[in-house]
Structure 1
Amino acid sequence: MRPLRFTTVALATAALALPLLGGSASAAAPGGPKPPPHSHASHDRLRAAAPEGFVIGTAVAGGGHHLEQDYPDPFTHDNEYRKVLGREFSSVSPENQMKWDYIHPERDRYDFGQADAIVEFARRNHQVVRGHTLLWHSQNPAWLEQGDFTKAELRDILREHITTVVGRYRGRIQQWDVANEIFDDQGNLRTQDNIWIRELGPGIVADAFRWAHKADPKAKLFFNDFNVESVNAKSDAYYALVKDLRAQRVPVHGFSVQGHLSTRYGFPGDLADNLRRFDALGLETAVTELDVRMDVPEGSLPTPAQEKQQAEYYQRMLEGCLEVDGCNSFTIWGFTDKYSWVPVFFQGEGFATVMTDDFTRKPAYYAVRDTLKEAALEDDCRKHGKHHKHGKG
């Protein structure tokens, strides 16, 4: 994706230009007709709006906290969810189904059922897959965290896991989050809560990338973390580590920012500048887990002003990615509030995705769609030598 300079504002859509009356901006005005549900039109989808070569993705709900909710597995049992998942997105990421505790529940047993189903779903729907994740301090099974292993045994366990999981999907996964959240917010390695770094030392990170590359030489291998959208101590630590690993010819291909944002905090306005410095190192960049949570009292709905601010955050994150040459992958962490992880983990916050429980599109959805359309039009005009101004080629 070539850098783009936007000449229109994506938020100037019909969804936001109309007066918003009370309650949720996604709800119908009192006495008026209910807004149209999710559109089935092929031209009116996020994946269709995206510029050529740019993938728009989402997390596939399942595993993790979903197992404790009062609904069956969304990906398996919710047909409407699966239809929207296939129609709207050109990339999918297993939300929990490839994490250690889910895919490797016992030392000598793997459970590939859900991961296999997601990869096959992606194949049928002409989608790429982001694998998530291989080396992490969280969501590890008890047998691993509480086991009495020697350093040599731990090293063999990690190598065997990476080789087995990555090798199983060789040629079918576009990007892997190899090392996830290895620094704290001060830019220090997690030497206490990350079992791999604590027991085996920092060098195990490079080994993880080497093993993943050997198992699938065509997959792009990423660092992935939260609170690294801006230039700060944490992203500085990744920048220094990547420079060092690249100098050692370790196969690190990408750096991705998760983008778990909240409207109670300011927007990371230096996102594009931060991504550009990793791009200058020869890395691909990506936004991998975007959601924007809001403070909403229990039993209430977001106000129109809240949904407008949320839409602006979604738009600005997408624009930041589109402005960077090597940022070609943009993933939102779930697309419906029905299955969002946010209310489970952030008390008093929620409504973080781009669709309501019944898959009605929010202003945030239109902000993403129209920004993609604008970028595609800019790209097309550039290719054909035309000047694009205010929506006209």
Structure 2
Amino acid sequence: MLHWDFYEQRLGPNASLDFFLTVQESDPLARLFMNDFNVLETCDDTKSTVDNYVSRLQEFGAAGVVMDGIGLEGHFSAPNPALIHAVLDKLALLDLPIWLTEVDISKKFDQQMQGCYQMCLTDNTLKNLPAGDVVDALLKEWRTSAIEGKSEVHGAFGFIGFHGQYHVAVSWQQNRAHDAVSQPRR
């Protein structure tokens, strides 16, 4: 969204904004994220600074777009952990979920040159490094285990779970006192 020349040059100055507004109007339940690259990677690109990212989110918000989250691609050559930390801290002030949508480090650097190699999830053979073990452990810990319960009088049942997909099985237990009232005629 900060490198918006393609659509704006071809479709007009508000093309990206129009995309978001159209989606929001067409499907009010769609979760809208602004996703871009070079916000985490470097401070050399004058277009994709964290301040420009925040400004773009504010522009969209002022025009009526309700964003559900922030998407950040991370295509690193030589990662700068201090910059990454500062950018994430600044974006966290917006109180929106932040998703890293892509993360990779250039192959042209060896383990020592990458600097953050120990933060990488796997080595070049896709064998877990210590950070990968931590992520795998967290993913296992964050799984919501089986939950059983009864619905309240109106049929609702709530639970707290982690983001993800769930398999739901519902069984119905007849309540003899309410059978005549609650059972539809067949």
| 1:279 corresponds to which of 92, 114, 128 | 92
Alignment of 1:238-277 (within 5 A): 238-262=53-77, 265-277=78-90
Q: CA deviation at 1:245?
A: 1.6
Q: Please give the TM-score of this superposition, normalised by the length of structure 2.
A: 0.57
1:370 to 121, 134, 151: 134
CA contact (8 A) 2:41 2:75 kept: no
User: Would you say the 8 A contact 1:213–1:219 is kept in 2?
Assistant: yes
Alignment partner, residue 312 of structure 1: 118
Shift of 1:354: 4.8
Query: Would you say 1:361 and 2:127 are equivalent positions?
Result: yes
Task: Write the mapping of 1:118-267 to structure 2, written as runs, cut at 5 A.
Answer: 182-184=1-3, 189-190=4-5, 194=6, 196-229=7-40, 232=43, 233=46, 234-235=48-49, 236-262=51-77, 265-267=78-80
* Per-residue deviation, 1:198: 0.7
Q: Equivalents in 1 of 2:68, 2:119: separation in Å?
A: 27
**Offset at 1:268?**
4.0
Matches of 1:306 and 1:274 in 2, distance apart? 22
Deviation at 1:226, TM superposition (A): 1.7
Distance of 1:293 and 1:231 partners within structure 2 = 14
List per-residue Cα deviations over 1:305-362 (Å, max 9, x = no partner).
468x4533437xxxxxxxxxxxxxxxxxxxxxxxxxxxxxxxxxxxxx6562xxx514
- Alignment check: 8 A CA contact 2:41 2:80 kept: no
**Unmatched 5+ stretches in structure 1:** 1-181, 297-301, 316-352, 378-393
Q: How far apart are residue 244 of structure 1 and its match?
A: 1.9
Partner SS, residue 361 of structure 1: coil
The superposition leaves residues 61-89 of structure 1 with CA deviations (integer Å, 9 ceiling, x where unpaired) of xxxxxxxxxxxxxxxxxxxxxxxxxxxxx
Deviations 1:354-379 (A, max 9, x none): 562xxx5143xx312225647988xx
Cα distance between partner residues in 1 of 2:34 and 2:94: 14
Amino acid at match of 2:75: H
Residue 218 of structure 1 and its aligned partner are, at CA, apart by 2.6
Gap change, CA 1:362 and 1:240, over 3 Å in 2:
same
Q: Within 5 Å, which residues of 2 pair with 1:31-180?
A: none
- State the SS of the aligned residue for 1:239: helix
Q: 1:240 to 1:251 in 2, by over 3 A?
A: same
**Partners in 2 of 1:249 and 1:231 — Cα distance?**
30
1:239 counterpart letter in structure 2: V
For the pair shown, which has the larger CA radius of gyration, 1 or 2?
2
User: In 2, Cα distance between the equivalents of 1:216 and 1:311?
Assistant: 41
Q: What is the TM-score normalised by the length of structure 1?
A: 0.30
**Distance across 1 between alignment mates of 2:42 and 2:124:** 30
CA contact (8 A) 2:119 2:131 kept: no
Q: 1:369 to 1:362 in 2, by over 3 A?
A: closer
| 1:231 CA drift (Å) | 8.0
What is the number of residues matched between the two proteins? 137
The amino acid that maps onto 1:222 is F
**Which secondary structure state, in structure 2, belongs to the residue aligned with residue 220 of structure 1?**
coil
Displacement, 1:243? 1.1
Distance in 1 separating the partners of 2:123 and 2:19:
34
Give the whole-Å Cα distance in 2 for the aligned partners of 1:289 and 1:266: 14
Distance 1:242 1:222 in 2: 10
**Among the aligned pairs, what percent are the same residue?**
24
